[in-house]
Structure 1
């Protein structure tokens, strides 16, 4: 099952113009290098963007534990290093977490939070969507044989 698509909503709102608020299209190159990942992408990877000031994001954060132990689930926050470390410790997260203090819109075409990109090993966007769809995110991870996404 695919993630809920937001593309038509954004394209309608911006009359088809490519703006900083429109997500990358499928097959576009995703600039994951800006995060200085500790490992290379080897298969489809989830980039999950949240904001520390987003009420929906903060409500969903405890539920992200379901992805513990999964290196293909990458959480990106706009919190500083200390906030990110505190979050990891408090929730016991065991997946990669990156702090990115620059503008999500400008660098990753993230129009809202929570937001998710699925990126293949070649760095191309496979799909994107609403970050509230945790069951669908787990299905994407499980479709590649990952048992750490329930």
Structure 2
């Protein structure tokens, strides 16, 4: 299940939905909730505006989930990602993976959030309290982390 939306989400309700969907077949559900944080050193972040490429974005996230499911034997994965204007501390992304075993669920969830940061077509424009606006650039560390998942030596 992949959803890209402007509305906020209820992480507990999403975990319960995933639990219902796997109907007792999963021994573990691992979830991650990401929040808008203050990125800037100069002035506090006022907001983060997220744009996405509709259709393509969802397909890319679905492909990430399919990869996770095949690599780590998960029953289901779930991703909810927000777009639009978000304030500091707002929820931005929810990722969950359900599997028979916790190790698979943890690895699948971590893979999805890492790969999502570099592969899904989202663009982030940050606005500082000073009014300055700029596009957030992909970090080298994020690209390196995704590369490790895509070229694993031991995962």
| TM-score between both structures, scaled by the size of structure 1 | 0.28
Larger radius of gyration: 2
Higher percent of residues as strand: 2
| TM-score between both structures, scaled by the size of structure 2 | 0.28
Higher percent of residues as helix: 2
